[in-house]
A and B are shown apart, each in its own frame.
Chain A
Amino acid sequence: NAGVMQNPRHLVRRRGQEARLRCSPMKGHSHVYWYRQLPEEGLKFMVYLQKENIIDESGMPKERFSAEFPKEGPSILRIQQVVRGDSAAYFCASSPRTGGEDTQYFGPGTRLTVL
């Protein structure tokens, strides 16, 4: 049973380009969470999705960031027109049920560098 998969592991983009980060949850998990770790900071919640639905996006920046979790395929975190301040590690986690009480299993993260 493979764990949470994220790709790419490292992504380099120039300012103004788009970044697409992918997350495949553990088998049987229908809840996906995205977190961001800025340099020298801890993990911060961004968004919580179930299949085809955004449940809580209270941690997402209002502009340029979007997330989806389609019926088929991985969850995608999309950052348009990236800026240097978007450089961070982006972690995805999944759980079989809603995550407040349920353990979340984390992927290895995608490290985004914006030049």
Chain B
Amino acid sequence: ILNVEQSPQSLHVQEGDSTNFTCSFPSSNFYALHWYRWETAKSPEALFVMTLNGDEKKKGRISATLNTKEGYSYLYIKGSQPEDSATYLCVCGSARQLTFGSGTQLTVLP
């Protein structure tokens, strides 16, 4: 069973601030790492999937990096907006299943 840890658990930022969160995972037998965005009362929505050490992905104001050797990934949000408020899930994928971190709950205050 993989142990996927995310920090911080929750975060409040002001509109316009940039922010980042961390995901750590076992570096041995790495397969794939996903980031999902989960808004209250909705279903998780895929943001990125990364497989290679050094991968960087970007989608608008959100970007992510991956370090498989040391077992961490960062998610960055530039110029946070209230609509970015959600729980951001880091997920490790093996061949058969996904293991979810507990998420970072982001609240962007107007």
Q: Are A and B a genuine interacting pair, yes or no?
A: yes
| CB <8 Å contact, A99 and B46 | no
| CB <8 Å contact, A103 and B49 | yes
Name A45's closest neighbour in chain B (CB-CB): B97
The interface bits of chain B over 28-70 (1 if a CB of A lies within 8 angstroms of the residue's CB, else 0) are 0001101000000011111001010000000000000000000
Query: What is the minimal beta-carbon distance from A40 to any residue of chain B, in angstroms?
Result: 10
A/B pair count, beta carbons within 8 Å: 60
| CB <8 Å contact, B43 and A99 | no
Asked whether any CB of chain B lies closer than 8 Å to the CB of A56, the reply is yes
Name A46's closest neighbour in chain B (CB-CB): B97
**Range class of the A interface residue count:** 20 to 34
Asked whether any CB of chain B lies closer than 8 Å to the CB of A74, the reply is no
Q: Which of B32, B51, B103 has a CB less than 8 Å from the CB of A42?
A: B103
Alpha-carbon separation in the docked complex, A35 to B45 (Å):
15
Query: What is the minimal beta-carbon distance from A3 to any residue of chain B, in angstroms?
Result: 8
Known: A42-B102, A103-B49. A108 touches B43 (CB 8 A): yes
Known: A107-B43, A108-B43, A109-B43. A99 touches B100 (CB 8 A): no
Known: A91-B43, A98-B95, A108-B43. A103 touches B100 (CB 8 A): no
The interface bits of chain A over 91-115 (1 if a CB of B lies within 8 angstroms of the residue's CB, else 0) are 1000000111111111111000000
| CB <8 Å contact, A99 and B89 | no
Name B100's closest neighbour in chain A (CB-CB): A43
| CB <8 Å contact, B97 and A106 | no
Asked whether any CB of chain B lies closer than 8 Å to the CB of A69, the reply is no
Asked whether any CB of chain A lies closer than 8 Å to the CB of B99, the reply is yes
| CB <8 Å contact, A59 and B44 | no
Asked whether any CB of chain B lies closer than 8 Å to the CB of A84, the reply is no
Q: Which of A1-34 contact B (CB under 8 A)?
A: 4, 33
The interface bits of chain B over 94-106 (1 if a CB of A lies within 8 angstroms of the residue's CB, else 0) are 1111111111000
| CB <8 Å contact, A43 and B93 | no
Chain B residues near A (Cβ < 8 Å)? 31-32, 34, 42-46, 49, 51, 89, 93-103
